[in-house]
Structure 1
Amino acid sequence: MDIIRHLKQTVSPAVLEGDRSPAKASLLEQFYAIFAARLADKDTYDRFSNESIASDDQAFYDRVWTDGTHRDQISRELAGKHNVDVTAARGMIAMAAPLAFHEIKSLAGTTPVPQFLRDNLASYQPLIPAWSSAVLPASMLADAPAPASTAPSRSEEEKGGFMKALLPIIGLIILGALAWALLRGCQENPEPVATPAVTEQAEDGDPSAVAADIEPAALRIATGENRELYACSMNVGDEGLETQVIDALTAAFGEEANKCRADVDDSFAAEMPASAQLTSVLPIVKNVPNASMIIKGDQITVNAPDEAALEQLVADLQAAAPGMTVQAEGPLGLQGEIDDSLAAADAAMDDLGENPDPRDVARALSIQVINFEVDASAIPEVNKELLERASKIIAEVPDMELVIIGHTDSQASDDYNVELSRERADSVREFLISQGIDGTKLTTQGMGESEPVADNSTEQGRFRNRRIEFVVRDEVDDASNEMNSANDGMTISNDALDPDLNPLDSNNDDLLPDGDDVTQGTELDPTN
């Protein structure tokens, strides 16, 4: 179990919040090792093992290290080592501590945390600095290699004098061997120009690599009035995690799990702290009509239209997943949601770099909230700056074609919502064209209320459903091709549709009464 790697993927993104500083990422990595060593001490852990630690409880760090001089030393040493401001280091550590605690506790499962950390000592021990002996329990340091003595013995001094005399000769021998190896390598196996050498360190991950690039895996579901799976989507790092989540959804909701939309990309974590508890968590949510749940990192956020049902839902989920932080969704802060979405979309565009993947461009654009006025399709001024920036990126990506998809909540008729969502998608397309984008690269769809991502019974759910999505056209085409393959490659025309579904067709081959097509009568259609 690589504990440090897991914490880099799950905790660091939440602490750094888009800051791509390698120094800060490396500082956090070393703090995780010190923190794990501290929790491996049973006496330390027992002090707060029965507490309910909130993920934003920054005072928790003070309870782990009760000695203020120790806390100051940790901040000062880490800041100096990684060239980070001491105040910033102190804030990062205080924010990381409760998050890391929940992740470690979740990884440990039923194993006591101190035992789990001692069993996996090898995964973080190399990162424990020598100076931390002053802030870690002696029982923990006993497991670590003893520091080498700095005072040489007499025999060592004599050997040292002899070795000093040999150093120039050894240096010449080594230099000659390196020169010969370099010449031989150039002759027999020349490396292409500008091709970086692949090293073991690169495969394992450079400690200074930016952990903030990885977003926590996430699952979002909502139930309907009849406790069915009303909406479902996930963001996961690989197909293994996708399969694990789908299996849990299938166990709870049956074939309805097939409607869950999955965004599988290595920009998301390949581990989900709550994955082991999904088989317990999902049936609890299923039993509450019009409920919603978002799992991200070590947080479970839920909502329901009934206050009593919501309180019970939080209590039941916390009992089923004690290693997670379960909370009720707060009131909708509209302006804050909009501002946060624009900031996140802007940061995602910063991370695109040169020659970005079109899917990453579409994903970055979809983060923003375009909060149209009621019954209107005019783009709000606050979104135009971001769309202007996006147009420059789109123009520079060769052969990039996007589908702009509009969605609404369910607070009007189906036909009205489809038309309104199409008009809003068209409005975004026209704006991008006005910025110089070739119109043939942009198509639109209006989906109305047909593809919700949240329940429509709460204000927060309706807000999430009112959205504009950007999708690479190839992905839409691939989905259509899969649907055609599922229908044995047959092309379905209007005449092939049953009259009950399409009163305008010309056949009469339905096996049910034509209740919506009076010209066909009310008897069963004849079989062909």
Structure 2
Amino acid sequence: MDIINHLTRTVSPAVVEDGGNPAKKNLLEQFYAIFAARLSDSETFNRFSNENIARDDNAFYDRVWTEGTHRDQISRELANKHGVDATESRGLIAMAAPLAFHEIKSLAGSTPVPIFLSDNLNSYQHHIPAWAATVLPASALVAAPAGAHISDTVSTAPLQHEEDKNGSFMKALLPIIGLIILGALAWALLRGCQENPEPVATPIATTQEETQSDEQLAVAAVEPASLRIATGETNELYACRVSVGDETLQTNVMNALTGVFGDEANKCRADVDDNFAVDMPASAQLATILPIIKNVPNASMIIKGDNITVNAPDKAVLDKLVADLQAAAPAMRVQAEGPLDLQGEIDDSLAAADVAMNNLGENPDPRDVARALSIQVINFQVDKAVIPEVNKAVLDRAAKIINEVPDMKLMIIGHTDSQASDSYNMELSLERAESVKEYLVSQGVDASKLDTKGMGESEPIADNSTEQGRFRNRRIEFLVNNEGIGSDDSAMMDNESFDPDLNPLDNNNDDVLPDGDDATQGTAIDPTN
């Protein structure tokens, strides 16, 4: 998990008003790393772990670093490094600290924040500048792998600035230098006393420690429960998906959806799996939240953790939507979805898929394999079905796993947005699913383990009125081949027997492909009524 990238994408736009200012963004990026290292210290975190930190609590930074000299040094060093006014640097940091705190807590889920940050040290360690050693607890530095540089991306030039003429900074470093010398002497003594010495930095793990580590990894793998919905042009429920950890939460969410959208809630696809959290902070407020989104045509909303992200085609409508939702759910963080960062979305999806596959372990559940593969974004070129090179590493790993797990059969499903005819999108989505299958077979997967399906634009997970929504709807999904697909599961398990019509003999044109229900659409697919 790339913590710094996540914070840069979610927090920085809320802090840097002139969002294109690279100096301020780079300053914040480096602060996030120092901040994460500070929160990885349990003693620091426990001081305010039970507080209800407001997102606009600019004094929170003062409670994280209680030493005024440390706060001054952080803002001064970052200002000098990035060419930002020192006063402005302090203001940016004070605004960012509570927002970053909430984002990190959301990423950690039910895992204690210090444990989560220690487990993900590699994602932010290389952003920490060398001078930060004097403003971080010893535990935050000890966590670094032996021999690793605190930062190889940041110059130590600020150490030479005029503020340090009196040598106070060097004096602050003397205890650390002394500890390093003592550590080297201790290592030499140990090495002289042992016939087969163990590396000092590599303690022998006990069985209990190993068990605790495994449990921590298991907890860290739990994703926040989420709800994604989109409305259509006439305020109907256009798309809906729920991901929760148990049936109790599923029932609560579905009851709220039914109470607002009626029978339309039946189109909502629910994924109930212990990979997701069993609580949703916004679940008790859904009866208030959902009517607000229902009243906005072509809107979308994603509830995940304590965040609500919304979008709509009209900026004025979107601004009002954000304000109304924030008023209805003051404990949640409500934000408008930012511009589509295509490369960032692709990179994040591949990194997340890689982490998910690393966590599969031996003899994984096929559902977990399917979910890990579905995380990646396969960004096909317009009107093409050629797999991008960046996705092949993930598919190569998947090929080995599929071959190693007995009786694993997967359905590869292609989806498109709505920017073409139904029939064209159906054909294109199937071609893309077939392309993925062909690649996996070329890597040694038994073709009988893979089926394909093209769903075209018929199963959106977001609105099709915004660039971000269309991007999310263009996707490849993997399912275990006995799981339901679409609104008619039994009819969608075999390409040759697939009938795309919901009911070929009715009098309405609700079909996936045109048929005799609408004479203007031709009769090539189904019989006339």
Q: TM-score, normalised by structure 1?
A: 0.60
State the distance in 2 between where 1:391 and 1:297 align: 33
One-letter amino acid matched to 1:97 = F
Tell me, yes or no, if structure 1 residue 36 matches structure 2 residue 46: no
| Equivalent of residue 56 in structure 2, options 52, 56, 60 | 52
Name the structure 1 match of 2:328. 320
| Equivalent of residue 274 in structure 1, options 277, 282, 300 | 282
- Label 1:229 to 1:464 Cα distance change in 2 as closer, same or farther (>3 A): same
State the distance in 1 between where 2:361 and 2:250 align: 27
Name the structure 2 match of 1:62. 61
Deviations, residues 360-419 of structure 1 (Å, cap 9, x unaligned):
000000000001111111111111111111101111111000000000000000000000
One-letter amino acid matched to 2:222 = I
Name the structure 1 match of 2:442. 434
Map 1:177-188; keep pairs closer than 5 Å. Answer: none
Identity between Structure 1 and Structure 2 (%): 59
| Equivalent of residue 418 in structure 1, options 420, 426, 449 | 426
- Label 1:455 to 1:513 Cα distance change in 2 as closer, same or farther (>3 A): closer
Map 1:237-252; keep pairs closer than 5 Å. Answer: 237-252=245-260
In the TM superposition, residue 33 of structure 1 has moved relative to its aligned partner by 3.9
Deviations, residues 246-301 of structure 1 (Å, cap 9, x unaligned):
01111111111111111111111100111111111110000000000001111110
- Label 1:456 to 1:438 Cα distance change in 2 as closer, same or farther (>3 A): same
Look up the SS of the partner of 2:479 in the other structure.
strand
In the TM superposition, residue 475 of structure 1 has moved relative to its aligned partner by 1.0
Tell me, yes or no, if structure 1 residue 391 matches structure 2 residue 404: no
Preserved contact between residue 349 and residue 376 of structure 2 (Cα < 8 Å): yes
Tell me, yes or no, if structure 1 residue 409 matches structure 2 residue 417: yes
Map 1:70-89; keep pairs closer than 5 Å. Answer: none
Name the structure 2 match of 1:284. 292
One-letter amino acid matched to 2:505 = D
Preserved contact between residue 234 and residue 262 of structure 1 (Cα < 8 Å): yes
Look up the SS of the partner of 1:234 in the other structure.
strand
One-letter amino acid matched to 1:67 = T
- Label 1:69 to 1:212 Cα distance change in 2 as closer, same or farther (>3 A): farther
State the distance in 2 between where 1:447 and 1:102 align: 33
| Equivalent of residue 97 in structure 1, options 89, 101, 113 | 101
Deviations, residues 430-457 of structure 1 (Å, cap 9, x unaligned):
0000001010110000000000000000
In the TM superposition, residue 67 of structure 1 has moved relative to its aligned partner by 2.1
**Which has the larger Rg?**
1
Map 1:106-121; keep pairs closer than 5 Å. Answer: none
Tell me, yes or no, if structure 1 residue 476 matches structure 2 residue 484: yes
Look up the SS of the partner of 1:455 in the other structure.
coil
Unaligned regions of 5+ residues in structure 2, if any? Answer: 8-36, 72-96, 108-136, 138-206, 493-498, 510-515, 524-528
Preserved contact between residue 273 and residue 298 of structure 1 (Cα < 8 Å): yes
Runs of 4+ residues over 6 Å off in structure 1:
69-72, 93-96, 100-103, 481-484, 512-519
Unaligned regions of 5+ residues in structure 1, if any? Answer: 1-10, 16-23, 54-58, 73-92, 104-131, 133-196, 485-491, 503-511, 520-524
Q: TM-score, normalised by structure 2?
A: 0.60
- Label 1:29 to 1:225 Cα distance change in 2 as closer, same or farther (>3 A): farther
Preserved contact between residue 244 and residue 273 of structure 2 (Cα < 8 Å): yes
Look up the SS of the partner of 2:417 in the other structure.
coil
One-letter amino acid matched to 1:385 = A
Structure of greater relative contact order (alpha carbons < 8 Å, 6+ residues apart): 1
Provide the aligned C-alpha RMSD in A.
Answer: 4.4
In the TM superposition, residue 63 of structure 1 has moved relative to its aligned partner by 3.4
Preserved contact between residue 293 and residue 301 of structure 2 (Cα < 8 Å): yes
State the distance in 1 between where 2:290 and 2:47 align: 35
In the TM superposition, residue 52 of structure 1 has moved relative to its aligned partner by 3.1
Deviations, residues 85-143 of structure 1 (Å, cap 9, x unaligned):
xxxxxxxx98873358899xxxxxxxxxxxxxxxxxxxxxxxxxxxx9xxxxxxxxxxx
Look up the SS of the partner of 1:475 in the other structure.
coil
Deviations, residues 478-514 of structure 1 (Å, cap 9, x unaligned):
9867899xxxxxxx999x9526469xxxxxxxxx999
Tell me, yes or no, if structure 1 residue 215 matches structure 2 residue 223: yes
- Label 1:479 to 1:516 Cα distance change in 2 as closer, same or farther (>3 A): closer
One-letter amino acid matched to 1:35 = F
